[in-house]
C-alpha cells in the first residue's frame, strides 16, 4: 500500500466531483449558452455572394439569404448578429464615400433584418476599410498616412446613419483616437440615447485577420500595407487598459478585445480592472485554423471549438463574436 500523501488526503479527493457527468455539470464554474454568442455575417449582392474560400462553411449572403439565416439563428437562441458589407470594387473610393450612402447595402440590410426579426439585436461595423480603395480603416492625408481626425468625422456620420436605420449597436472597429466620443456625442444630439456603442477598444495589429479581409474584399486593396500605426502592438497589455479606459470615458457601453484566444490575458485584465461588459472576437484566422485542423482529422471540431469558447468565457468575456456561433448553438442544444 502506498504511503499516504501529506495534507487532507484521503479525506479530500478532488476527483470525487469529476467522476460523473451530473456532478461535473453542477460544479462547473463557467457556463456557455447561445445567448452569449454573436454571429458575424457577411452581406453581399450579385456575383460577390458565395463561399469564402479561406473560411470553410462561411458564406457571403444576399439579403434574402441573410434574413433566412437571421431567423434560423434566433430560433437557436442566438440573440445578436454583427453585419459586415462586401462592397463592389467600383464603389470603393479613397474617401470611402459609400459608407455614407443612405441607400447602401449595409443600410438596407439593417432595415431588412430589423423588420424581419425585430427581437434580434443588430450590430453594425463602423469603419471605412470595406469602402476605401486603399483598404485602410480611415482616410489618408497628403503624405499617405491615415488621418485620425478626418476619419473620425466620417465615422461619426457613418454611425449616425446606421442609428437612423434602426441598428441596435454601433461597433467602431477602426481604432482611431477619440472616435467613441465623436460617435456618442452625435448619437445623443440626434436623440439616439438608446443606441449602444460596442467599442473595439483593444484591437491588435494581428496576423489573424487575413480570411476576414478575403471575405469583405479589402485584402487586395490593402496589399502589403499594414495597420500597425493605429492598431495595437501584440506585445502590449498595459496599453490595452489605457485604450479601454479612454473608450469608457468617451461613452462606450461594451468594450471588445480582438483577437480572442491569443489574448486571454488581456480579456482577464480588462474584466478585472473595469468590471464592465466585455466582448471577445474569435477572429477569422482562429476559425480557419480550427476548421483546417478538424478537416485533416487532427482535432475533434465540436470539442475543440466549445473548449475554445469556454476559455474565452473563463477569461472574462461576457459575449463572444464567433463564426462558430450557429454550430455551437446547435451543439449546446
Active-site residues, by number, are: 203, 258
Task: Report how far apart, in Å, the C-alpha atoms of 54 and of each of 168, 211, 225, 282, 303 are.
Answer: 30, 5, 20, 15, 22
249, 242 contact by CB (below 8 A): no
Residues 244, 240: Cα–Cα separation, whole Å: 6
Measured from the Cβ of residue 65, the count of other Cβ atoms closer than 10 Å reads: 15
Residues 129, 217: Cα–Cα separation, whole Å: 9
Residue in this structure with the C-alpha cell 445567448, named with its chain if needed = 35
Residues 229, 233: Cα–Cα separation, whole Å: 9
| Beta-carbon-side half-sphere exposure of residue 98 (alpha carbons within 13 Å) | 20
Q: Which DSSP state fits 2?
A: P
At residue 182's C-alpha, the angle toward residues 176 and 184, to 5°, is 120
Q: Of 208, 123, 212, 128, nearest to 176 (Cα)?
A: 128
Residues 201, 270: Cα–Cα separation, whole Å: 10
Task: Report how far apart, in Å, the C-alpha atoms of 39 and of each of 262, 283, 286, 296, 323 are.
Answer: 20, 11, 15, 25, 6
Nine-digit cell at 96?
A: 470611402
Nine-digit cell at 275?
A: 468590471
Under DSSP, is residue 232 helix (H, G, I), strand (E, B) or coil? strand
Q: Of 98, 329, 87, nearest to 218 (Cα)?
A: 87
176, 148 contact by CB (below 8 A): yes
Amino acid at each position: 500500500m502506498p504511503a499516504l500523501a501529506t495534507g487532507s488526503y484521503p479525506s479530500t479527493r478532488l476527483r470525487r466531483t469529476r467522476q460523473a457527468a451530473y456532478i461535473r455539470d453542477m460544479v462547473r464554474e463557467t457556463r456557455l449558452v447561445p445567448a452569449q454568442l454573436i454571429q458575424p455575417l457577411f452581406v453581399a449582392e450579385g456575383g460577390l455572394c458565395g463561399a469564402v474560400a479561406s473560411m470553410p462553411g462561411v458564406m457571403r449572403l444576399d439579403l434574402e439569404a441573410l434574413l433566412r439565416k437571421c431567423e434560423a439563428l434566433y430560433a437557436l437562441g442566438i440573440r445578436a448578429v454583427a453585419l459586415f458589407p462586401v462592397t463592389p470594387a467600383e464603389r470603393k473610393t479613397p474617401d470611402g464615400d459609400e459608407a455614407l450612402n443612405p441607400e447602401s447595402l449595409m443600410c438596407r440590410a439593417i432595415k431588412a433584418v430589423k423588420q424581419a426579426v425585430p427581437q434580434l439585436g443588430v450590430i453594425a461595423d463602423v469603419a471605412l476599410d470595406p469602402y476605401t480603395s486603399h483598404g485602410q480603416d480611415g482616410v489618408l492625408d497628403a503624405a499617405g498616412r491615415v488621418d485620425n481626425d478626418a476619419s473620425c468625422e466620417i465615422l461619426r456620420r457613418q454611425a449616425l446613419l446606421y442609428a437612423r436605420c434602426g441598428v441596435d449597436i454601433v461597433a467602431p472597429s477602426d481604432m482611431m483616437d477619440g472616435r467613441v466620443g465623436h460617435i456618442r456625442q452625435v448619437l445623443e444630439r440626434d436623440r439616439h440615447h438608446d443606441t449602444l456603442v460596442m467599442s473595439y477598444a483593444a484591437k491588435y495589429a494581428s496576423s489573424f485577420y487575413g480570411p476576414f479581409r478575403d471575405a469583405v474584399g479589402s485584402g487586395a486593396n490593402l496589399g502589403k500595407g499594414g495597420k500597425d500605426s493605429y492598431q495595437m502592438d501584440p506585445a502590449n497589455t498595459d496599453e490595452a487598459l489605457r485604450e479601454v479606459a479612454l473608450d469608457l470615458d468617451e461613452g462606450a457601453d461594451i468594450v471588445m478585445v480582438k483577437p480572442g484566444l491569443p489574448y486571454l490575458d488581456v480579456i482577464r485584465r480588462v474584466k478585472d480592472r473595469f468590471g464592465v461588459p466585455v466582448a471577445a472576437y474569435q477572429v477569422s484566422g482562429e476559425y480557419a485554423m480550427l476548421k483546417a485542423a478538424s478537416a485533416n482529422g487532427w482535432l475533434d471540431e465540436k470539442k475543440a471549438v466549445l473548449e475554445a469558447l469556454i476559455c474565452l468565457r473563463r477569461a472574462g468575456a461576457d459575449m463572444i463574436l464567433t463564426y462558430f456561433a450557429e454550430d455551437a448553438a446547435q451543439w449546446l442544444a
